[in-house]
Chain A
């Protein structure tokens, strides 16, 4: 292709005229000529920069003086550039983008990579970060959390001293099995109010049990299970892991989707929320499994905790349970009880 027809825009101006671009092999120059043959502009071919091919966008040649030559018809342009021995950059990527086979491969790659990143990569990274986090950070988080909980949700415990003593004795039995040694954990009591019957673990080893939990307990093994579950959260540093995972999810979404503002848009907020719920369920299940191991070591029955969970959910939510598991932060109550009755090793 020895000639291109297009519009020549004068240097740095919006003024243009129809013209032709010619390549002169002898002098290796690019020449822009009017219909009547007068030369409007010329430059060494090396100094002219062609725009990258992208879809069916109009192509242009940028001349060194700030002039621009707009041409339609990508294939003609490519042929002309090759004849003029000018580098046709970006051709590979453009060809990839035009081939539907590549696209199918790309979709598969994206789905697989996404799965790997969110199901394996982030948890692994979060875990190794959590293991390397100094204890002072855990203490700081725990301190802050306790203050917030006491201000916003909890009030001082009204549990009678005898019951507190019994709970602490049971707690000590399980704490001995904890990875950090019995002295690393302590049990505190609070009146739960609208939180209801529950137990939470703070990253510094503080485990909170609400008064409302106590009346539901029928056997010692049940509350031993709850304590073992919470201690497992501390041992595995789940609070830190959840924090790190939550921090990484937006960053990864931003990088992959290539459009950073998508991080906060509605269509990625929902997947991110579902992802967080899934991560939470995964960690709750880990804690259940760890608890089952510790309980058997001290001669207690893991299935007892399952019974307690089902009993609480039956009162709070009715016999159908507390809602679909894909939305919840904990696995569904009956599922947990089943798994505790038949634990996998």
Chain B
């Protein structure tokens, strides 16, 4: 392969060619934990020094780092949002967060109003966020875009979950699929649509595996709890009748519990949390593989996703534990670690050399919706 300017490209750089050979392109993440650590820590310090204003630039640098180090077929992605837009959105978002905390504490009635407002705003927040991120992302000089509408977003993110709830959970997998369909099928690259589709029974299998794991966890915990209770709770001891004020003291004293009872209690709680999170990651990964793995671009280029659920759970859990133990310093390494793994397991079976795309004309977009959405942890990541 001819190498141009130190780049390694996996296809011949033929001028204006329509090379039509299908090929499998690999994703690759070329970032390093140590490199991102330095960027991340400088981000934090400058954010502190500027009392938060630099945070918008920090966010753009972080996204640029992750997108820019993600390569497909030897070319990187790019993120080019303007930090100023993000700053405006961010200020508004933090104000809303403060306002919500204060008014909800003063009067629970406000919390209900906020909830209502939030539910109505959610489709707009989601669309806004997906659109902002899509439009300022590009690959090989061509931009992505997002075309979701309020109505469709409402159906996918609110309507379907309600249906899932009404049917006592039996339709939740379909609700999840509807949401993923909405998120993926409204994205375009250079005007060409993404499309994903798969049979409903496949997502049911993912959820059934999750349910089975949860039941196993529940049974295990119950056995442990009852076992411990029996071991440490002898019958309580009756006590003298009256106390100093001539009133009856309680009939019995509670048993003296050994200190390690509490220690094991906390450990069990921690362990259950970890296992519960792992189960969630396992199910989420299977659903992710279904959504992305069955997606096509322009009807002819096929995305592939082969993340292995237990590995994802392992990486994510150990990341959390290491981050806690290092007081947060491991966080940048954690992110790079996962990005590396994820990229390795993604691929694209391209029907051409991908040189047939051109950007749509897109105006400027504001980041308010995205920032508000991320403040309330609107989870729209795919």
Chain A residues in the interface with B (C-beta under 8 A): 4-7, 9-10, 12-19, 34, 51-52, 54-58, 60, 66-68, 70-73, 93, 96-98, 100, 102-103, 105-107, 109-110, 113, 137, 140-141, 144, 163, 212, 214-218, 243-244, 246-248, 250-251, 254-261, 263-267, 270, 315-320, 323
Contact = CB atoms under 8 A, between A and B. Distances in A.
B39 A7 contact: no
B375 A254 contact: yes
A320 B259 CA distance: 8
B249 interface: yes
B324 interface: yes
Contacts of A144: 107-108
A12 B142 contact: yes
A109 B45 contact: yes
A261 B243 CA distance: 54
Given A144-B108, A256-B48, A260-B371, A72 B42 contact: no
Contacts of B377: 261, 263-264
Contact of B64 (A57, A100, A254): A57
Interface in B31-48: 31-32, 35-39, 41-48
A58 B7 contact: yes
B201 to A, nearest CB: 32
A260 to B, nearest CB: 5
A176 to B, nearest CB: 24
A15 B16 contact: yes
B226 interface: no
B161 interface: no
A58 B32 CA distance: 14
B76 A14 contact: no
B44 A267 contact: no
Contact of A259 (B13, B59, B142, B359): B59
A141 B105 contact: yes
**Closest 8 A-B residue pairs measured CB to CB?**
A5-B5, A18-B4, A247-B101, A9-B141, A106-B45, A12-B359, A318-B256, A6-B5
B204 interface: no
B300 interface: no
Contacts of A247: 98, 101-102, 105
Given A14-B354, A66-B359, A251-B97, A72 B5 contact: yes
A323 B262 contact: yes
Contacts of A106: 41-42, 44-45
Interface of B: 2, 4-7, 9, 13-16, 30-32, 35-39, 41-49, 52, 55, 58-59, 61-62, 64-65, 68-69, 75-76, 78, 90, 93-94, 97-98, 101-102, 105-108, 139-142, 190, 243-245, 247-250, 253-254, 256-257, 259, 262, 273, 277, 320, 323-324, 328-329, 331, 354-359, 371, 374-375, 377
Contacts of A163: 245, 247
Contact of A17 (B14, B68, B98, B108): B14
Nearest to B330: A267
A58 B76 contact: yes
A255 B94 contact: yes
B4 A6 contact: yes
Contacts of A56: 30, 35
6 contacts: A5-B6, A16-B140, A16-B355, A18-B4, A102-B42, A106-B42
B36 A68 contact: no
A203 to B, nearest CB: 11
A150 to B, nearest CB: 15
A258 B38 contact: no
Contact of B44 (A16, A258, A264): A258
A67 B254 contact: no
A5 B55 contact: no
A14 B94 contact: no
B193 to A, nearest CB: 16
Contacts of A265: 320
Given A19-B4, A265-B320, A316-B254, 4 more contacts: A18-B13, A52-B64, A248-B98, A250-B97
Nearest to B249: A215
Given A103-B38, A246-B101, A267-B323, A54 B254 contact: no
A216 B331 CA distance: 50
Contacts of B37: 103
B141 A13 contact: yes
A258 B43 contact: yes
A328 to B, nearest CB: 11
Nearest to A76: B6
B245 A260 contact: no
Given A215-B245, A258-B58, A259-B59, A243 B93 contact: no
A260 B374 contact: yes
A183 to B, nearest CB: 25
Given A16-B355, A17-B16, A261 B42 contact: no
A321 to B, nearest CB: 9
A100 B34 CA distance: 10
Nearest to A163: B245
B275 to A, nearest CB: 13
A97 B42 contact: yes
Contacts of A251: 94, 97-98, 101
A268 to B, nearest CB: 8
**Which among A55, A60, A163 has the highest number of chain B CB atoms within 10 Å?**
A55
A316 B30 CA distance: 58
A7 B262 CA distance: 63
**Which among B31, B48, B65 has the highest number of chain A CB atoms within 10 Å?**
B48
